[in-house]
Chains A and B, each alone.
Chain A
């Protein structure tokens, strides 16, 4: 019975990672950049929804939509100001800029909302009780899993069916060729950031509901974990991000329960290393042999 509840907590934690990882992987796949500021956009999403619910008294669904809108705008602004000018710069320069943006967002959030941690009440309260109360599943966990699946399905459909999605895939394969085919690469990348940031807002709401608290640094560690998850599953691959997130959550939860709470992170990372040694491009990643 305990095993089941550990598994469930692992799955719900994993789904949170998965949603964040989906955002990471989208941006990485198309822009080929590690967007370290993604975690902090999540934090902003959390604060916006918190303010909307607690100060403006808006219903949670409206708060989520508002957070999505704000984060989308924020994502596009960041992209336009900080990343776009570096389109042709070496990838490390963009990485450092992303880190700068991450510091900026954290410190700005601290100035705006103060450093005091806020208690975030879950967007849906209560929990499901099974087997005569031996097993309880918070509704938030269920919601997280469902939302995660919906987003994954949506993204898969979007990238494989829609015109814009196809353009994204083309950009991801070969930017120059895509440009020659009449695809506006710059606009496509900006759109990707917009979508990624909107996802970050949803992730923010769910992450904060799951954690129950909100601080200016809320996003940074989950950001790194989700990045790990994305690599785990094969960065750039949408089902890979989902699988990676889920597995990382379960491994962490099981490690905490049966091995050592101190080493939960260590074990998660160790599994990642082993997986990458066996499959150098992650679980579902494409291994592209180098052409000479």
Chain B
């Protein structure tokens, strides 16, 4: 009997894994049966990307306890490096799933590098100052990628940075067989879409495994100790900078992988997609799902990605209703009075049922 008792956290983790696997199987089944409408089918991959984004941001915001307003920047780095990789390896690796995997790994690596560059200075700051600097980095990444020109031909990869606005893709002097991969502000417009729902599922699972294991490990406990009381953690010999950086860079790398998958799901992608609003969108998933609550992030990302599409029936009022829903949910879940009210209503209803 003793063997069977597992820790509560482990049980929750396994339920989370199981939940995701079951959801994936149901969705696959429904899709293959043709029951799932196209609108939802088309959103499966983006939903997987947003789930990964939300989980990875939860690592920074919920577990590490630092507010990041530039998470979309890492997604952007991952997306564009992933697109470049996938497009230039088209002839080298003809097998699509492998190419996709390579692109996602490269996306993760580049985003991790960006994470280190951003993290080293940023993590010295605290609270809202840290938040604004991550916002600044997100905007900087967006502006730089907006200037990026990348092409690929038989001579290899060509890159240029259009800083003064006087360069264009023709300045790369591509061979006739070359392809323009990223054309500055026009972004990546000829991407071969190779993303699949299965890849999205694998990404979500990998993200879950990495984040949950990190959280339950010695490192994770150190990170949470820093969140709860930095000074106390420091005093017991925890290397604050190191653990903060580990969490931050892991989060960035996962966002990069998600970005790569996202980028390879659409044939056109512009750097402006990954602006402040996208960072905020992911933050909303995290806060709504509950800080530090990984499985809440999964649900919140799914629901809030589908919600604007589900509201299409409201035409012009769609985004207005979305905003109202957002405010009401925040009020309902965080207001003590509302909570008390909810608590009063629910038992009452139960009582009514037994009476009737």
Q: Is the CB of B144 within 8 A of A89?
A: no
Q: Is the CB of B61 within 8 A of A104?
A: no
Kindly state the interface size class of chain A when it binds its partner. Answer: 35 or more
Shortest C-beta distance, B277 to chain A (Å), equals: 8
Q: Is the CB of A86 within 8 A of B163?
A: no
Q: Is the CB of B231 within 8 A of A290?
A: yes
Q: Is the CB of B326 within 8 A of A103?
A: yes
For chain A residues 62-119, which have a beta carbon within 8 Å of chain B?
A: 82, 85-86, 88-90, 92-93, 95-97, 99-101, 103-104, 107-108, 111
In the complex where A228-B136, A281-B129 touch, is A92 in contact with B291 (Cβ < 8 A)? yes
Q: How far is the CA of A249 from the CA of B316 in the complex (A)?
A: 36
From the candidates B132, B165, B334, name the one contacting A272 in the complex (CB within 8 A).
B132
Residues of B within 8 A of A104 (CB): 320, 323-324, 327
Shortest C-beta distance, A284 to chain B (Å), equals: 14
Q: How far is the CA of A34 from the CA of B230 in the complex (A)?
A: 23
Residues of B within 8 A of A276 (CB): 125, 129, 132-133
Q: Is the CB of B283 within 8 A of A272?
A: no
B347 contacts chain A at the CB level, 8 A cutoff: no
Q: Binding site of B, secondary structure by majority: helix, strand, loop or mixed?
A: helix
A122 contacts chain B at the CB level, 8 A cutoff: no
Shortest C-beta distance, B158 to chain A (Å), equals: 20
B15 contacts chain A at the CB level, 8 A cutoff: no
Residues of B within 8 A of A89 (CB): 334-335
Residues of B within 8 A of A263 (CB): 143-144, 147, 163
In the complex where A100-B327, A107-B320 touch, is A262 in contact with B163 (Cβ < 8 A)? yes
Inter-chain contact count A-B, CB under 8 Å?
126
A177 contacts chain B at the CB level, 8 A cutoff: no
For chain A residues 248-292, which have a beta carbon within 8 Å of chain B?
A: 260-263, 265-266, 269-270, 272-273, 276-277, 280-282, 290, 292
A227 contacts chain B at the CB level, 8 A cutoff: yes
Residues of A within 8 A of B326 (CB): 96-97, 99-100, 103
A20 contacts chain B at the CB level, 8 A cutoff: no
Q: How far is the CA of A128 from the CA of B288 in the complex (A)?
A: 52
Q: How far is the CA of A93 from the CA of B291 in the complex (A)?
A: 10
Name which residue of chain A comes closest to B316, CB basis: A111
Name which residue of chain B comes closest to A279, CB basis: B129
Q: How far is the CA of A29 from the CA of B139 in the complex (A)?
A: 25
Name which residue of chain A comes closest to B286, CB basis: A92
Residues of A within 8 A of B133 (CB): 272-273, 276
Residues of A within 8 A of B163 (CB): 260, 262-263
Q: How far is the CA of A124 from the CA of B263 in the complex (A)?
A: 48
Residues of B within 8 A of A292 (CB): 231
| Interface 0/1 of B121-139, CB less than 8 Å to A | 1001110110111011101
Residues of B within 8 A of A261 (CB): 165
Residues of B within 8 A of A235 (CB): 128-129
B336 contacts chain A at the CB level, 8 A cutoff: yes
Q: How far is the CA of A282 from the CA of B129 in the complex (A)?
A: 8
A16 contacts chain B at the CB level, 8 A cutoff: no
Shortest C-beta distance, A265 to chain B (Å), equals: 6
Q: Is the CB of B280 within 8 A of A99?
A: yes
Q: How far is the CA of A262 from the CA of B324 in the complex (A)?
A: 36
Shortest C-beta distance, B163 to chain A (Å), equals: 5
| Interface 0/1 of A121-142, CB less than 8 Å to B | 0000000000000000000000
In the complex where A92-B67, A265-B143 touch, is A277 in contact with B124 (Cβ < 8 A)? yes
Q: Is the CB of A224 within 8 A of B164?
A: no
Residues of A within 8 A of B164 (CB): 260, 262
Name which residue of chain B comes closest to A277, CB basis: B121
Q: Is the CB of A272 within 8 A of B316?
A: no
A48 contacts chain B at the CB level, 8 A cutoff: no
Residues of B within 8 A of A82 (CB): 327, 331
From A86, A262, A292, residue with most partner B Cβ within 10 Å: A262
For chain B residues 130-182, which have a beta carbon within 8 Å of chain A?
A: 131-133, 135-137, 139-140, 143-144, 146-147, 162-165
Q: How far is the CA of A66 from the CA of B67 in the complex (A)?
A: 38
From the candidates A93, A111, A224, name the one contacting B287 in the complex (CB within 8 A).
A93
Q: How far is the CA of A260 from the CA of B144 in the complex (A)?
A: 12
Residues of A within 8 A of B231 (CB): 290, 292
For chain A residues 213-235, which have a beta carbon within 8 Å of chain B?
A: 224, 227-228, 231, 235
Residues of A within 8 A of B61 (CB): 92
| Interface 0/1 of B310-346, CB less than 8 Å to A | 0000001101101110110011011111100000000
Residues of A within 8 A of B129 (CB): 231, 235, 276, 280-282
Name which residue of chain A comes closest to B132, CB basis: A231
Q: How far is the CA of A28 from the CA of B132 in the complex (A)?
A: 14
Name which residue of chain A comes closest to B235, CB basis: A292
Q: How far is the CA of A103 from the CA of B131 in the complex (A)?
A: 20
Q: Chain A residues in contact with chain B, CB under 8 A?
A: 28, 34, 82, 85-86, 88-90, 92-93, 95-97, 99-101, 103-104, 107-108, 111, 224, 227-228, 231, 235, 260-263, 265-266, 269-270, 272-273, 276-277, 280-282, 290, 292
- In the complex, besides A86-B335, A96-B284, A97-B331, 7 extra interface pairs with C-beta distance below 8 angstroms are A34-B131, A95-B283, A95-B287, A99-B284, A107-B319, A235-B129, A263-B163
Q: Chain B residues in contact with chain A, CB under 8 A?
A: 61, 67, 121, 124-126, 128-129, 131-133, 135-137, 139-140, 143-144, 146-147, 162-165, 230-231, 276, 280, 283-284, 287-288, 291, 316-317, 319-320, 322-324, 326-327, 330-331, 333-338
18 CB contacts below 8 A, A to B, read A92-B61, A93-B330, A96-B283, A100-B323, A103-B322, A103-B323, A104-B320, A104-B327, A111-B317, A228-B135, A231-B129, A261-B165, A263-B144, A263-B147, A265-B139, A272-B132, A272-B136, A273-B137
